[in-house]
């Protein structure tokens, strides 16, 4: 089973501008999801789908591959599943088909590795 982890992080935010790159406990919010992606057993690759150069830079510095999200998929009213579809197609075109997409929201830093492993196990 090929499992890839994805962090979907837009640059724009109405409520908290720049929230995904703002510091939480001394490091950018998005890094908690990146770290989780690299910790989950069985994850082949970790990707960041973003429209924001700062978020892309953080992702690269953590070893993630960056997917440039088109502006029409990065608006406040853009359905996230369309960003998932775009990212999955991007990855499949470069690396071939894969079986599982693990979405690790940037705004959920408090999840545990056990919770994520349980979700992955449920998919199997």
Cα 64 vs. chain centroid, distance in angstroms?
A: 9
Which pLDDT does position 18 carry in this prediction? 87
pLDDT in tens, 43-95: 999 999 999 999 999 999 999 999 999 999 999 899 999 999 999 999 999 99
Mean pLDDT of the 96-119 span: 94
Instruction: Please state, for a pLDDT cut of 90, what percent of the chain lies above it.
Output: 90
Q: Looking at the whole model, is its pTM more than 0.85?
A: yes
Please give the pLDDT value at position 86: 98
């Amino acid at each position: 089973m090929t499992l890839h982890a994805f962090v979907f992080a837009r640059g724009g935010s109405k409520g908290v501008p720049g929230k995904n790159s703002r510091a939480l406990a001394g490091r950018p919010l998005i890094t908690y999801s990146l770290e989780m992606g690299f910790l989950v057993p069985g994850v082949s690759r970790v990707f960041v789908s973003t429209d924001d150069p700062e978020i892309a830079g953080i992702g690269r510095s953590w070893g993630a591959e960056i997917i440039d999200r088109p502006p029409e998929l990065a608006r406040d009213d853009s359905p996230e599943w369309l960003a998932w579809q775009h990212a999955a197609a991007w990855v499949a075109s470069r690396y071939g088909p894969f079986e599982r997409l693990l979405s690790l929201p940037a705004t959920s830093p408090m999840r545990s590795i056990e919770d994520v492993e349980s979700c992955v196990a449920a998919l199997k």
